[in-house]
């Protein structure tokens, strides 16, 4: 038997522990090298744990929903076993060996013959399974260290069929969920037609709540608003959409314009791109723009590094990539770390107006909303224009109203005359 241990991967320095989501394999399943065994959720990302070697999964040490730390042992793989077999083939029993020991392998019968004190003693997880399945002591041969009975031994025993089916192995048809599925209350007499369901927060949701409360309690948040006539951008987008997509293989969206306009304003007003560190103001000479993205797990903010050096096509491709990763839970910690300014586009969901909350340690965030045809006055005449309300929330501790208002006006002017973005004026 060649046993390979499966451990929790190294976590970020700021992450102390993680939560096991759902095992993709069950004990006795054949495993291919690098095949995903389980996903582990931290307060930032979901990490996949790949199989370090091919073989058969013989033991799971931490169940779904368990809390783990970096480098913790969570499973074992037998590289020499075959699917459905969690112990090596039986070796010929020694003449003096008891009949009950015959199924055991040579490696496990030796300690028993020599009087090993731990031979046949079940490990804690194995003991619980045996108790749940009413399996008598000594009915399962051990293949663990010193002949001890492992969880894999119990699950592989013929008498454990019902136990494996009912409790140890999750049903193949069970829905994959990021949060534990908690049944609604079964007290119709108390609740009538008003059922409730209590579900623990995911680590990401808890972290989001913590950061938003931190932002509101530590920042002096103020929001300024302005309206933007999106007609020039929409006309330019319509004019070049087909050629752009053909040339770059990605659609020309509005977010690349918003990012370019934001960088344009941040260059003019560096305080909006700065942050506070103790009693110091840190001016960033680079522009790492966070793009708020909704995902099944909650709000995530991946970063466009050096956005000022990116083309429209590069921005659109990166945002599309981040969107796909967010949906699949594949965003890495490094992709969401840092950022000097953020953009939240609630308009994709139909929002007309909002006051976005700053993402610490940043000092400002731009909220973009739905573009709608509205009546506006131009040159004394009432006309219909596609208007979008922009909201800039900023930390009033370092950003005064003047910089905030003028910064938002600079974004507005850049979008209402996109040629400004070409000449940086």
What average pLDDT does range 113-139 have in this prediction? 64
Would you list the DSSP string of 76-134?
EEETT--TT--SPPPPPPPTTS-GGGTTS-HHHHHHHHTT-TTTTPBPHHHHHHHHHTT
Query: Residue 95 pLDDT > 70, yes or no?
Result: no
More reliable by pLDDT, 295 or 160 = 295
Q: How confident is the model at residue 157 (pLDDT cuts 50, 70, 90)?
A: confident
Residues designated as active site: 396, 400
Question: Contact 223/354 with Cβ under 8 angstroms?
Answer: no
Supply 47's token pair: 């990490």
Query: Does CATH number 2.40.50.100 belong to domain 3-78?
Result: yes
pLDDT the model gives residue 126: 67
Compute the mean pLDDT over every residue in the chain, rounded to the nearest whole number: 81
Residues forming CATH 3.30.559.10 domain(s) in the chain: 206-422
Residue 191's pLDDT is what?
59
State the residue for tokens 């006051």.
Answer: 355
C-alpha gyration radius of the chain: 30
Listed in order, the ranges of the chain carrying CATH 2.40.50.100 are 3-78
- Segment 387-423, tens digit of pLDDT: 999 999 999 999 999 999 999 999 999 999 998 888 7
Reduce the secondary structure of 131-154 to three states and give it as a string: HHCCCCCCCCCCCCHHHCECHHHH
* Arithmetic mean of pLDDT, 116-141: 68
Please state whether beta strands 293-295 and 46-50 pair in parallel, antiparallel, or not at all (unpaired): unpaired
- Give the closest residue to 305 by CA, choosing from 297, 293, 314: 314
Query: Which of 264, 261, 285 has the alpha carbon at shortest distance from 275?
Result: 285
pLDDT at residue number 112: 41
Two tokens, residue 262: 């934001």
Fold of domain 206-422: Chloramphenicol Acetyltransferase (3.30.559)
Phi, psi of 274 (to 5 degrees): -95, 175
Listing from the earlier edge strand, what are the strands of the sheet with 46-50? 46-50, 36-41, 18-23, 67-68
What pLDDT, on the 0 to 100 scale, is given for residue 269? 97
Query: pTM for this structure?
Result: 0.61
Non-local (6+) Cβ contacts of 406 within 8 A are: 268, 269
Q: What percent of the chain has pLDDT over 90?
A: 40
Question: Would you state the structure tokens that stand for residue 108, as one six-digit string?
Answer: 């496990």
């Amino acid at each position: 038997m060649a046993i390979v241990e499966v451990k929790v991967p190294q976590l970020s320095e700021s992450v102390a522990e993680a939560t096991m989501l759902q095992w993709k394999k069950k004990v006795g399943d054949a495993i291919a090298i690098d095949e995903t065994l389980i996903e582990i959720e931290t307060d930032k990302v979901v990490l996949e744990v790949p199989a370090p070697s091919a073989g058969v999964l013989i033991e799971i040490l931490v169940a779904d929903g368990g809390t783990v730390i970096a480098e913790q042992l969570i499973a074992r793989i037998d590289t020499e076993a075959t699917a459905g077999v969690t112990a090596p083939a039986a070796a010929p029993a020694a003449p003096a060996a008891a009949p009950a020991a015959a199924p055991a392998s040579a490696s496990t019968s030796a300690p028993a013959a020599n009087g090993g004190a731990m031979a046949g003693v079940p490990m804690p997880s194995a003991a619980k399974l045996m108790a749940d399945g009413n399996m008598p002591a000594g009915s399962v041969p051990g293949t663990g260290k010193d002949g001890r009975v492992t969880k894999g031994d119990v699950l592989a025993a013929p008498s454990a069929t019902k136990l494996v089916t009912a409790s140890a192995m999750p049903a193949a048809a069970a829905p994959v969920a990021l949060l534990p599925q908690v049944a609604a209350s079964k007290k119709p007499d108390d609740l009538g037609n008003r059922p409730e369901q209590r579900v623990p927060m995911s680590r990401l949701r808890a972290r989001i709540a913590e950061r938003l409360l931190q932002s509101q309690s530590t920042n002096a948040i103020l929001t300024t608003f302005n309206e933007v006539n999106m007609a020039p951008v929409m006309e330019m987008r319509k004019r070049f959409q087909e050629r752009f997509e053909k040339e770059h293989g990605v659609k020309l969206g509005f977010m690349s314009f918003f990012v370019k306009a934001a960088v344009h304003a941040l260059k003019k007003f560096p305080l909006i791109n700065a942050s506070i560190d103790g009693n110091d103001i840190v001016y960033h000479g680079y522009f790492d723009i966070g793009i708020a993205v909704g995902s099944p797990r909650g709000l995530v903010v991946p970063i466009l590094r050096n956005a000022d050096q990116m083309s429209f096509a590069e921005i659109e491709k990166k945002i599309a990539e981040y969107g796909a990763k967010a949906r699949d839970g594949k965003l890495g910690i490094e992709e969401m770390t840092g950022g000097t300014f953020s953009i939240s586009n609630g308009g994709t969901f139909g929002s007309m107006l909002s006051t976005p909350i700053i993402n610490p340690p940043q000092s400002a965030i731009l909220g973009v909303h739905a573009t709608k045809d509205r009546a506006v006055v131009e040159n004394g005449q009432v006309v219909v224009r596609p208007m979008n309300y922009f909201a800039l929330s900023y930390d009033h501790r370092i950003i005064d109203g003047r910089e905030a208002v003028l910064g938002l006006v600079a974004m507005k002017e850049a979008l209402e005359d996109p040629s400004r973005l070409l000449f940086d004026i």
